[in-house]
Structures are given as C-alpha cells and as structure tokens.
C-alpha cells in the first residue's frame, strides 16, 4: 500500500543499523549532545550519584529459590557485568551471606573476548544441577545458549549449545530439551521469534531433532515446556497468534496434542490439579457469563474431559483489577489493584470451596508484589513492599505463619518534606484518569511527567534512588500518569486505547498535563514529559500533537515511524496493539498520531531529546534516528544520543546506566529549570 499523502522516505538509509554511514551520523549527533550536556559539575554529580545507587553494596539482592538454594544475579562496581551466585536461606537471613559464585560474567567476557551481558538461566529440575545459560552480545534480545554444570562451575563440553538467535529453550529431562530457534529459512515468524519447536536429545545433531509443534508464519511465536511438578508432570505446547491470544495444547507421551478449549484471548495457568483461566474478554460458559478481567478456576483433568464447572476467584469492578497471582504448594495469592493501590489475598481450596483472607503487608499509596514462591515444596513466599518515598522491604512468610523482614533497602535521598498525592484528571471523553504526584511544599521547581499506556502494563508506586537524588532532591516534582492502554483497571482499561481507540491514551496524558497546571502544581514551561518504548511513542505524540503543553520532551528507545514499525525487528508482534499499517482502514487511524508523519516545519516544538541504542533488537533505532533527521531537516534543533550498546534498556552495565540517566536529567534541568546552577 502507498499513501499519496506520505512522501517517499529520504531517511531509510538510517535503518541500516550498523552501516558505516548511519553510524557516522550517529556519532556526529552523539558528539553534539555530549558537548552540550556533559562536563559540568552538576552532570558529574548526577552521574556519580546514580552510579552510587546502582552499585550500592547494601541494595537488596533479590533471590529466586531453586531447590535448597536462593539464586541471585548481582552487578556492582567491582563486577560490572555481574555474578551469578547462590546461597542458603540461613546464610541470607544472616545479613552478610557467603555467596557461592557460579559464573563470573566479567571473567567469561574477558576470556571469550566478547561483550557478554547476562540474559538468564533455566535450571534443570528436580536436581538443580545443570542450567541452560543465555548470554547476549551487548544487551540485545538475541542470545547464545550454553549448557552449564553448577557442580563444576564450567560449561559442559559437548553439551547443549545454540548460536546467537532469539531462541526459546527449556528442559524436558536430563538429556532432552525443547528448543525453538533459527533452524533456517521458514523457522522464524514474521516477528522474528521461533515458529518451530523441536525436542532435542543430547548427543544428536540439532538438525535431526524431532519437530513437536509448528506455529504459523504470521504468529508472534511458538512455545513448549514441561511442568515438572512431582506427580503432575505434563507437557504443554502452543503458539501466540498475536500479542494477546494463544492456542494451547497438552502434548502426550506419544506426541499427540489435546487442545485446551478456551477463548483465544484467555490465559490458562495449570498448577497440580487446578487450572486458572484469566479472561481478557467476556465469556459465557456453563450457563454463566463472566466479565473481562475475571479469574476462574476449574479441575484441569475434568475440564479436558468436558466439564465446564468453573468457579470465579476474582471479579473486577469499575475501580479494581487483578494485577497478578502466585501459587504456593497449597494456596493461591492474588495481587489486586484498587485505584492503583495494592491489596493481597490468600485463597485456599477446601471441601467447602475456596476460603479467602487478606495477606498483610500492602502499603497505602504504595505497592506490594510477590517476587517468588516455592510451589513444589512449601507455602513460602517472598514479598517486596515499596512506594515512591518508601525504600523496598523484602519480607518472607509462609501462608498462615509469621512474616519476617529479610532485607531493607537503604534510603538514597532525604524524603523529609516530600509527600505523595493521588489525583484524577478528566479526559476528553469524561473518563477519570488517576495519577500520582511526588513533591515538596514548593511549586517553584520543574515537574517531570512519566507515562507508558500500553500492553496492559500497570505503573504502580515504586522507589527509585536515582530519581530521588537526581530530581526530587533538586526541587523537582515527579508525576506518574495511569493512562488508558495500561492495565491499572484491567483489560477494559487496556482495550479502551487499542488500535482505532489509540488516541484515548494520548488524550489521557494531555489531560493529566492540563490538570497539573489547573491545580497550580506546574506551568507548561516547567513541565517535562518522559517515556520509553511504547512510552517513547507516547512522548513522541505529546511532542507533535500537544507541543504547547510541555517545556521539554524526552523520547527513549521509541517507536515513531508507525508506517513501517511492523517491518522493523519485532514490530510485527505488536500489530494487535496498534493495527496493521498495510491495511488501508488501519492506516487511516494510525496516521493520525504517527509522530514521524506529524512533525512539520511550520510548528514550534519544545526542546526534545531522543535516546536509543544501536543494539536494541526489539525496537529498531531507526525510529529515533529518522525522527531526529526529519526534525533537523525541517529546521528544528532537538538533541540525540544513541548508546552503541545496551539493548532495549539502552545500557548494558551500571556505568552506562548512570551516564544515560545523568545526560537525560541534565537535559531536563537545563531546559525546565534554566536558572538553576549547573555547578552542583
């Protein structure tokens, strides 16, 4: 499809990620931004302060239980690429545990001559003796996979190994794994993820591995995994036709597939004899109608046999949603949101149904989340409690027992005189849009508005030492907008800003900006807006559609060219969110907000700063590059910085993270608070 209103793109050459001409252009832009924003005492102080937070020895080392050990990945000044390590609960309780280092990524990178970035490990159950370790070059989503022996602390010679790709791997048994990777032509989806899943037996060529499932070429991805729960071992395979739907099957020992008969956009979660069903749309089943956002439970084997007896465990209303859940051995913990504040419940199955009681620990105007459980063996749970002014506390409990404090994070800034408020703005269609404000008594400082508004992601309160030191402690006000497109009120809140309704998210964000001014919290000249990824699209729209509302705009790892987003890297996987630009009807509503197509030479825009990463293989850096080039071509003067490493997070280690944070804060302070000193 071609649109006569859209001229031929003269900046396509900037989509050549590592092309010599494109990188020369990047380095020239980088040099200009570095010269403009760095070198002053304030920049250096911000960078040092953020780096101190990131490297602090007294941060909470969040663990994940695997059998008898607690595992943790740790980065600090001495170990910038990080250590994969483990300890026991008894050692962890002691406050200064002895860590058993399994893998030193810095030493491995030096030995291999590679810029390795840790990407995770799948530890083999039930022995917890081997792992499939994933390592990324420079922080990209694509990884190499190597089998690792936790006993000898070495990679297994002749073990499972995959070259760099966006792979999906998991253990079947000691000598077999499920693997989806780039097997050659036709094996990956149009989104760049595995389409074909094989069972690969140790010591045999990958090319001879048995194909166990194939998705369609235009699916987002395919998957397979084994549930290793003792007494309930099952294999599941399936695919995701789009970002919000799945086809799920139970795979028998003979390779047969039994489809789990659910709505395509419902998500199953099987635990022991139970199956949870999370609904994204209304569903009528067994003579009852359940709303979108409900969580249902049923006996799994009975359901496969044809029973449709389902019990609702959570039903949403206009103010509540289900944020998540976690199984323990005998219980289910629900994490619920009520106007974006957390409530925790414990549900227990019994002969009279599912009993429920509140799980204590959730703070007012804060958040709590289950970080880990041990569903095979116990009713243990780890709970993280935090807030904008409340450093995180890690709690450990067993359902029905006492709760102990395992760790308290340090306070990295002085919160005296600061307060957290929640307000509601009114969007163009009358919808109430919640937002949080963190501020002191003074209204003279600059204000930073942050948002995301997509993919049913909820923005809940959380502590940031870097933000506190760099912004709040310097007199800034911080605002988080819970706009539609997110998950704060469940699927309905998300669906209200999908596809043809996308403008609702942007109207919500603009309404919050206007409400801040109406309340006297700030003025447009002193109001900045920041977002990344989908949030980068959001701030790109704020720049081009609502320039009069802001004094500065930060656009990080963004999508901006919505005519071509589906052709770049993982973009095709997001068409359920925004639409298909190759469909004429879809392009009609997409082109209304696509920032790359709505920036013009005849308008005045606030100062803008585009930040991205060369190694981002999820959102293409060409989006930011081309937007910058177009604005320069039109006579505008935005700033640009592209980290040559870093992946979608735009930074690969703490040094890079500190630099990227400092250069953004320096831009915001110089732009929104021009009278402030750059020497402190």
Active site residues: 533, 648
Task: Residue 640: name the closest of 546, 513, 550, 555 by CA.
Answer: 555
Residue pair 546/602 in contact (Cβ under 8 Å)? The answer is no
Q: How far apart are CA 179 and CA 170, in angstroms?
A: 7
Q: How far apart are CA 113 and CA 116, in angstroms?
A: 9
Burial per residue of 272-300, b for 16 or more beta-carbon CB atoms within 10 angstroms, e otherwise:
bebbbbbbbbebebeeeebbbbbbbbbeb
Provide the residue count of the chain: 680
Count the alpha carbons within 13 Å of 316 in the hemisphere toward its beta carbon: 29
The C-alpha R_g of the chain, in whole angstroms, comes to 25
**Strand ranges across the sheet with 390-398:** 367-373, 380-387, 390-398, 403-408
Residue pair 611/619 in contact (Cβ under 8 Å)? The answer is no
Residue 424 burial (10 A CB sphere; 0-12, 13-18, 19+): middle
Which residues share a beta bridge with 70?
65, 87
Task: Residue 321: name the closest of 198, 114, 494 by CA.
Answer: 494
Question: Helices 20-37 and 654-672 meet at what angle, rounded to 10?
Answer: 60
3-class SS at 28? Answer: helix
Q: How far apart are CA 34 and CA 106, in angstroms?
A: 27
Task: Residue 224: name the closest of 249, 202, 187, 191 by CA.
Answer: 249
Dihedral of alpha carbons 276, 277, 279, 283, sign: negative
Residue 475 neighbours by CB under 8 Å, 6+ apart: 440, 442, 444, 445, 446, 673, 676
Residue that the structure tokens 């406050």 belong to: 95
Helices (H) and strands (E) in the chain, counts: 13, 39
The full DSSP string for 343-374 is: EEEEEEEETTEEEEEEPS-PPTTSEEEEEEE-
Q: How far apart are CA 188 and CA 166, in angstroms?
A: 9
Dihedral of alpha carbons 150, 151, 153, 155, sign: negative
Q: Are strands 341-350 and 100-104 parallel, antiparallel or unpaired?
A: unpaired
Question: In this structure, what token pair is assigned to residue 324?
Answer: 């998540």
Q: How far apart are CA 182 and CA 192, in angstroms?
A: 9
Residue 361 burial (10 A CB sphere; 0-12, 13-18, 19+): middle
> How is residue 547 annotated by DSSP?
G
The full DSSP string for 170-207 is: EEEETTEEEEES--STTSB-TTSSB-EEEEEETTS-GG
Residue that the structure tokens 């020497």 belong to: 679
Residue pair 472/466 in contact (Cβ under 8 Å)? The answer is no
Q: How far apart are CA 172 and CA 12, in angstroms?
A: 44
Count CB-CB contacts under 10 A for residue 210: 12
> How is residue 647 annotated by DSSP?
G
Residue pair 450/556 in contact (Cβ under 8 Å)? The answer is no
């Amino acid at each position: 499809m071609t649109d006569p209103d859209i001229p031929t793109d003269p900046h396509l050459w900037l989509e050549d990620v590592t092309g010599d001409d494109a990188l020369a252009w990047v380095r020239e832009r980088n040099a200009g931004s570095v010269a403009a924003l760095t070198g002053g005492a304030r920049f250096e102080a911000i960078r040092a302060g953020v780096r101190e937070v990131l490297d602090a020895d007294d941060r909470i080392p969040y663990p994940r239980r695997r059998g008898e050990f607690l595992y943790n990945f740790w980065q600090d000044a001495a170990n910038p690429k990080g250590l994969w390590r483990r300890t026991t609960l008894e050692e962890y309780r002691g406050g200064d545990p002895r860590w058993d280092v399994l893998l030193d990524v810095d030493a491995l990178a030096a030995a291999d001559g590679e810029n390795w970035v840790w990407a995770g490990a799948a530890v083999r159950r039930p022995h917890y003796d081997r792992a499939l370790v994933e390592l990324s070059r420079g922080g990209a989503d694509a990884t190499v996979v190597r089998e690792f022996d936790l006993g000898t602390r070495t990679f297994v010679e002749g073990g499972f190994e995959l070259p760099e790709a966006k792979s999906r791997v998991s253990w079947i048994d000691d000598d077999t794994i499920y693997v989806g990777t780039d097997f050659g032509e036709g094996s990956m989806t149009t989104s760049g993820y595995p389409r074909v899943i094989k069972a690969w037996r140790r010591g045999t060529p990958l090319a001879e591995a048995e194909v166990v499932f194939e998705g369609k070429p235009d699916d987002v991805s395919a998957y397979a995994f084994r549930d290793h729960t003792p007494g309930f071992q099952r294999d599941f395979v399936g695919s995701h036709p789009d970002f919000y739907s799945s086809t799920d099957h139970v795979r028998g020992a003979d390779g047969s597939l039994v489809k789990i008969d659910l709505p395509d956009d419902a998500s199953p979660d099987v635990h022991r004899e139970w199956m949870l069903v999370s609904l994204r749309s209304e569903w009528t089943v067994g003579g009852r109608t359940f709303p979108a956002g409900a969580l249902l439970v049923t006996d799994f084997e009975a359901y496969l046999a044809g029973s449709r007896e389902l019990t609702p465990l959570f039903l949403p209303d206009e103010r509540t949603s289900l944020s998540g859940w976690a199984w323990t051995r005998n219980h289910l913990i629900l994490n619920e949101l009520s106007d974006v504040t957390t409530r925790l419940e414990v549900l227990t199955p019994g002969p009279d149904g599912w009993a429920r009681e509140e799980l204590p620990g959730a703070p007012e105007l804060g958040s709590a989340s289950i970080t880990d459980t041990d569903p095979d063996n116990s009713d243990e749970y780890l709970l993280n409690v935090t807030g904008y002014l409340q450093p995180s506390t890690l709690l450990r409990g067993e359902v029905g027992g006492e709760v102990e404090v395992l760790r308290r994070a340090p306070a990295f800034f002085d919160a005296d005189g600061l307060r957290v408020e929640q307000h509601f703005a009114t969007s163009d269609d009358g919808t109430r849009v919640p937002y949080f404000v963190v501020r002191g008594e003074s209204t003279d400082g600059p204000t930073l508005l942050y948002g995301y508004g997509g993919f049913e992601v909820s923005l809940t309160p959380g502590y940031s030492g870097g933000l506190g030191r760099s912004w709040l402690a310097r007199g800034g006000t911080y605002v988080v907008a819970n706009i539609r497109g997110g998950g704060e009120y469940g699927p309905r809140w998300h669906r209200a800003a999908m596809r043809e309704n996308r403008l609702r998210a942007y109207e919500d964000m603009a309404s919050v900006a206007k409400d801040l001014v109406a309340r006297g919290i700030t003025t447009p000249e002193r109001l900045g807006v920041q977002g990344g990824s989908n949030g980068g699209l959001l701030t790109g729209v704020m720049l081009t559609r609502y320039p009069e509302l802001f004094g500065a705009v930060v656009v990080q790892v963004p999508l901006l060219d919505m005519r071509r987003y589906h052709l770049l890297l993982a973009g095709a996987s997001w068409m359920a969110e925004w639409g298909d630009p190759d469909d004429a009807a879809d392009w009609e509503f997409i082109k209304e907000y696509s920032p790359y197509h709505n920036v013009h030479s005849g308008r005045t825009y606030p100062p803008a700063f585009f930040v991205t990463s060369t190694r981002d293989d999820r959102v293409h850096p060409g989006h930011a590059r081309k937007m910058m080039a177009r604005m320069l071509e039109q006579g505008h003067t935005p700033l640009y910085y592209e980290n040559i490493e870093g992946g979608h997070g735009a930074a690969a280690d703490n040094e890079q993270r500190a630099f990227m944070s400092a250069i953004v804060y320096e831009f915001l302070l110089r732009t929104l608070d021009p009278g402030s000193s750059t020497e402190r």
